[in-house]
Amino acid sequence: MPGMPNVYIKPAQHVQTAPSLELTDVTVFYGATPALDGITARLHTGDQVAVVGPNGAGKSTLFNVIAGITRPQRGTVRIYGSGPAGHICVGYVPQRNRMDMRFPVTVHDVVMMGRVGKMGLFRWPGRDDRRQVDAALEQVGMTSLAKRQIGELSGGQQQRVFLARALAQEAELLLLDEPLTGLDMPSQQAILTILDDLRGQGITTLVATHDLNEAAEQFPLMWLLNRRMIAQGTPAEVLTPEHLALAYGSQIHVAHGADGELYFTDTCCDGGRPPVADVLRGEHAPAVLAPEELR
């Protein structure tokens, strides 16, 4: 029996010509302090945007609002023309360190979880579900590892499996939280190649990252966030000294050298930022960004 609707929710109206994501004045308070303040932005089908900003800038909160997990106190979220609550087309790829990888599930099981929303209550996976799962595994190159337990995979492979889960979900709006953190270069490259494919499939993608270099090199659009939307546009438009100073304050330093300006940011790890002075002395590998690289 195909086309059995999800019994739990009233499906949302999905206007394909509407912006894939439209945020208007989105504001979230935790207690008295705003975590997000008046965020307004718009994305169209297939857009890929890197969401950057210092720790605590509200990147995770923004993703929770878009996914419909957190309700904003003010402002609206529209996904293809309607609020997030009725959509099961929002996929998200969690930070790996939040998951228990000893959990007894195979790669195939994890990807099949993406189908549960579409299957509906009291139903087992059908032929169509299995086909979607196989296709998703194929697309991320994980077919040969489908029978492995999730904890037996490397970090990069796990990340690809969670991407496949969102694909099997037939997500049209995809949220990735720090997908490249802690991965080696080949694994990062594999993920970025998959993200390139998604653009062609009309999947709108938001990637939260603390790495300005990576964001500028890999994504055509950027949102610079620090509770407020500091700047949005192409990396060249967003990464100006003024914007960076606004977003990072004293955490970023601009050095003028013979080859132009260099930006040093201290956003490496949660709270544990190496003093900028150490970075300038070369004791830590800095996040270095030269403006001409941005073009």
Partner 1 sequence: MEWLSWLTEPLSYGFMLRGMLAALMVGVICPIIGSYIILLGMSFFGDALAHTILPGVVLAFLFDWPLVIGALIFGILTPVIVGLLTQGGEVREDTAIGIVFAGSFALGVAMISTLDSYAVDLTHILFGDVLGVGRTDLIATFALGALVLLTVAAFYKEFLVLSFDPTLAVVLRLPAGFLRYLLLILIGVTVVVSLQTVGVALVLAMLITPAAAAQLLTRRLPTMMAVAAAIGVLSNVIGLYLSFYLNIASGPAMVLTATGIFLLVFIFAPERGVLWRRLARRQTAATPAPVGS
Task: Give dist(CA 86, CA 110) in Å, integer.
Answer: 23
95 binding partner 1? (CB under 8 A): no
Contacts of 245 (CB under 8 A, 6+ apart): 252, 254
Query: Quick one: 121 or 285, whose CB is closer to partner 1?
Result: 121
Among 91, 156, 179, 235, binds partner 1 (CB under 8 A): 91
> Per-residue contact track with partner 1, 197 to 236, x per CB under 8 A?
----------------------------------------
Find, among 99, 27, 22, the residue nearest to 61 by Cα: 27
CA–CA distances in Å: residue 21 to residues 36, 68, 104, 262: 17, 13, 35, 34
Task: Give dist(CA 104, CA 151) in Å, integer.
Answer: 9
| Three-state SS at 10 | coil
Spell 11-21 as b/e; 16+ CB within 10 A means b. Answer: ebeeeeebbbb
Q: How far is the CB of 224 from partner 1 (least distance, A)?
A: 26
Task: Candidates 38-46, 120-128, 130-138, 283-291: pick the segment binding partner 1 (CB under 8 A).
Answer: 120-128
113 binding partner 1? (CB under 8 A): yes
Among 8, 17, 250, 271, binds partner 1 (CB under 8 A): 8
Task: Give dist(CA 143, CA 161) in Å, integer.
Answer: 10
Among 18, 99, 262, 294, binds partner 1 (CB under 8 A): 99
Query: Quick one: 6 or 27, whose CB is closer to partner 1?
Result: 6
169-198 residues near partner 1, rule: CB under 8 A: 169
Q: How far is the CB of 71 from partner 1 (least distance, A)?
A: 12
For the record, the structure tokens of 136 come out as 């998703």
Among 1, 32, 121, 185, binds partner 1 (CB under 8 A): 121
> Per-residue contact track with partner 1, 129 to 148, x per CB under 8 A?
--------------------
Among 71, 76, 103, 189, binds partner 1 (CB under 8 A): 103
Among 17, 122, 186, 282, binds partner 1 (CB under 8 A): 122
**Helix, strand, coil proportions of the chain in percent (round to 5)?**
35, 25, 40
102 binding partner 1? (CB under 8 A): yes
Among 21, 35, 49, 110, binds partner 1 (CB under 8 A): 110
CA–CA distances in Å: residue 253 to residues 57, 241, 262, 277: 18, 9, 8, 10
Q: Is 271 left (phi over 0), alpha (psi -120 to 50) or beta?
A: left
149-168 residues near partner 1, rule: CB under 8 A: 149, 165
Burial group, residue 248, by CB count within 10 angstroms (0-12, 13-18, 19+): buried
For the record, the structure tokens of 19 come out as 């912006």
Which residue carries 């929002």 as its tokens? 90
> Per-residue contact track with partner 1, 48 to 87, x per CB under 8 A?
-------------------xxx---------------xxx
Residues that bind partner 1 (CB under 8 A): 6, 8-9, 67-69, 85-88, 90-92, 94, 99-100, 102-106, 109-110, 113-114, 116-117, 119, 121-122, 124-125, 149, 165, 169
